[in-house]
Amino acid sequence: MHKLSAVIITYNEEDRILPTLESVKWCDEIVVVDSGSTDKTVDFCKKYDNCKVYEQSFLGFGEQKRFAVEKASNDWILSIDADEVVSESLKNEIIAILKQPVIDASGFYVPITMVFMNKIFKYGSENKFPHIRLFNKVNGGFNTLSLHENVKIDGKVLKLKNEVLHYCYRDIAHYLEKFNKYSSIYANKSLKKGKTPGKFKPIVALPWEFFRQYFIRLNMMNGYPGFVWSVFSAFYTYVKYTKRYETYLKNHS
């Protein structure tokens, strides 16, 4: 059986890291790279015999995950975020792959499903959205993007059937905190890329994004949390475009 290392980056995750660790404790090794947690995150990780914890100041998401992969003893990597849980069915699917004498792929897309307001989204783009999370590090790894990092693989990439559950927000307040941070990052990066910051785009984008999320992407089937997510998604789009226009005006005043 091929050996597998689960890699996780952390920072002050004591309120949600235990379900994540429990869901990967079957792996041969757990590699945690912590960027200076001041809570009990590291203490919780050290309770697992197969868990190795490394301290590293935050380098950006891409570089931090690359560092974690480098610390892994095994070639096969399962990358999991501290707010994610590997489902039992996915665990069994991965074990079956690792038992094969020769694995006919260099990486695998893993479906990621969002859990929002205690609702597992069964519809919409947040249901089983595929990301490469299981891969052989000999054939690839994370890029260096500071945000929205992803894995690049040289070789065949197949799709897995079963999912990881993503508990992406602790509560609405946490969502709004990330909302403000990421919309500002988008505004600054977008301008650096030379994108035109039209002042009418936010006005058009807000209703369209709600319609797209709620009706076209079927978030109406996710109940009230689906409605809230559609409203938030629309407002996020409006705010990021408005921030881009505001930043443009500041730079050209």
Q: What is the pLDDT of residues 182-198, one digit of tens each?
A: 999 889 888 888 877 88
Q: What is the pLDDT of residue 46?
A: 97
- Euclidean distance between CA atoms 65 and 147, whole angstroms: 11
- Mean pLDDT on 148-166: 97
Provide the percentage of residues in the chain whose pLDDT is more than 90.
91
Asked if 166 and 110 touch (Cβ cutoff 8 Å), the reply is: no
In the predicted model, is pLDDT for residue 13 greater than 90? Answer: yes
Q: Which helix (H) or strand (E) holds 222?
A: none
Cβ burial of 102 (10 Å; 0-12, 13-18, 19+) is exposed
Report residue 212: phi and psi, to 5°. Answer: -65, -45
Pairing of strands 157-159, 29-34: unpaired
Query: Which CATH superfamily groups domain 4-166?
Result: Spore Coat Polysaccharide Biosynthesis Protein SpsA; Chain A (3.90.550.10)
Is 104 in a helix, a strand, or coil? coil
**Residue 102 pLDDT more than 90?**
yes
Q: What is the pTM of this model?
A: 0.93
Quote the pLDDT of residue 183. 94
Computed from CA positions of residues 22, 23, 29, 35, in that sequence, does the dihedral angle turn out positive or negative? negative
Domain ranges of the chain: 4-166, 172-251
107-116 and 164-166 beta bridge pairing: parallel
Alpha-carbon distance of 108 to 130, in angstroms, equals 9
Q: Mean pLDDT across the stretch 75-89? A: 98
User: What confidence tier does 148 reach under pLDDT thresholds 50, 70, 90?
Assistant: confident
Residue 137 near residue 185 (C-beta atoms within 8 A): no
253 — pLDDT class (breaks 50, 70, 90)? confident
Give the pLDDT score at 20: 98
Q: What is the mean pLDDT of residues 41-53?
A: 98
Mean pLDDT over all residues of the chain? 96
Using alpha carbons, select from 137, 130, 127 the residue that is nearest to residue 158.
130
